[in-house]
């Protein structure tokens, strides 16, 4: 067996196990990769929301990154929750120091329950220091609205926002359309923009409230595919496909938004064989 792809996942820990680093590790493993991580914050959360957040000091974020990169290395990087400007700047500095490639930035700003996971200063630092290093940026509609400073109410608006974000120095932008108004009857559409052309990726709408971890899953699968040497279009298509399946097989746990489940297909096949 050859050496597996190595994905560095940087983000917050989710005590409920549905999103954050926990979702990242599951997604990388589902792609046949090996995940290393740097925890940027410890959250107290469950399916009903985030109750508390403890940011990890920047020196500890840096120490984690140095430890795994000096020994194991990374073929791709996925960043998630970066709550403080110091966290953003620390991560950007290490990406440059180690000349890391295949950088996927998921700009986690607000938890599904509505709690802010990023300070205003951190958002400004993200635009200034991290976005120019990103190979792919994967905002959802609210995140794209904040970063582009425009309202998004249609697919055409998604395209316009992607172009605005591209002008911030990002090589490629995927604006995810799960929050787009009025799409439940027509399905979910994501837009990929590489600075020259737009590509549209569509999926049927799955009626469920259990969508916790969709953004983390999508970005981690995307990073894994890039590390495997796939082109961006193919990587986005695979991330879309696997995230759609994970939503279809989501789990009804707790009293709020349950987690998506990448291993649903495996569970069904295993049951049929027994």
The domain containing residue 92 runs over which residues? 1-134
What's the pLDDT tens digit per position in 90-125?
999 999 999 999 999 999 987 766 677 888 999 999
The one catalytic residue in 177, 216, 243, 258 is: 216
Whether residue 80 is contained in a domain is answered as yes
pLDDT beyond 60 at 183: no
17 given a catalytic annotation? no
Q: What is the mean pLDDT of residues 254-268?
A: 80
**Residue 82 belongs to domain with CATH number:** 3.40.1190.20
Confidence tier at 229 by pLDDT (50, 70, 90): very high
Whether residue 230 is contained in a domain is answered as no
128 given a catalytic annotation? no
The one catalytic residue in 211, 217, 232, 243 is: 211
The 3-class secondary structure across 56-125, one letter per residue, is CCHHHHHHHHHHHHHHCCCCEEEECCCCCHHHHHHHHHHHHHCCCCCEEECCCCECCCCCECCCHHHHHH
The one catalytic residue in 11, 80, 213, 258 is: 213
213 given a catalytic annotation? yes
The SS3 of residue 241 is: helix
What's the pLDDT tens digit per position in 42-93?
999 999 999 999 999 999 999 999 999 999 999 999 999 999 999 999 999 9
Whether residue 31 is contained in a domain is answered as yes
Task: Answer whether 9's CB lies under 8 Å from 37's CB.
Answer: yes
Whether residue 205 is contained in a domain is answered as no
What's this model's pTM, rounded to 2 decimal places? 0.93
Distance from C-alpha of 209 to C-alpha of 256, rounded to nearest angstrom: 8
Residue 263: per-residue pLDDT: 84
- Average pLDDT in the chain: 92
The one catalytic residue in 215, 217, 232, 240 is: 215
Q: Count of domains in the chain?
A: 1
Whether residue 189 is contained in a domain is answered as no
Whether residue 99 is contained in a domain is answered as yes
Residue 234: per-residue pLDDT: 97
Whether residue 116 is contained in a domain is answered as yes
Whether residue 162 is contained in a domain is answered as no
């Amino acid at each position: 067996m050859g050496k597996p792809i190595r994905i560095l996942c940087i983000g917050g820990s989710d005590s409920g196990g549905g999103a954050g680093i926990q979702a990242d590790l599951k997604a990388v493993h589902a792609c046949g990769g090996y995940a290393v991580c740097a925890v940027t914050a410890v959250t107290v959360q469950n399916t009903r929301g985030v109750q508390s957040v403890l940011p990890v000091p920047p020196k500890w974020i840096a120490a984690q990154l140095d430890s795994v990169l000096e020994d194991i290395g990374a073929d791709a990087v996925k960043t998630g929750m970066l709550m403080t400007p110091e966290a953003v700047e620390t991560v950007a500095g290490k990406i440059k120091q180690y000349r890391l490639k295949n950088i996927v930035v998921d700009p986690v700003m607000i938890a599904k329950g509505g709690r802010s996971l990023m300070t205003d200063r951190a958002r400004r630092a993200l635009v200034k220091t991290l976005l120019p290093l990103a190979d792919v940026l994967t905002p959802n509609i609210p995140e794209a609205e904040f970063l582009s400073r425009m309202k998004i109410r249609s697919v055409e608006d998604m395209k316009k926002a992607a172009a605005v974000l591209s002008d911030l120095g990002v090589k490629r932008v995927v604006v995810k359309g799960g929050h787009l108004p009025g799409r439940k009857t027509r399905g979910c559409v994501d837009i990929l923009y590489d600075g020259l052309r737009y590509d549209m990726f569509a999926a049927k709408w799955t009626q469920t409230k259990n969508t916790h971890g969709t953004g983390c899953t999508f970005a981690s699968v995307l990073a894994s595919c890039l590390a495997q040497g796939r082109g961006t279009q193919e990587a986005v298509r695979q991330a879309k496909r696997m995230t759609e399946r994970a939503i279809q097989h989501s789990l009804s746990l707790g009293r709020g938004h349950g987690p998506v489940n990448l291993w649903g297909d495996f569970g069904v096949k295993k049951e049929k064989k027994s």
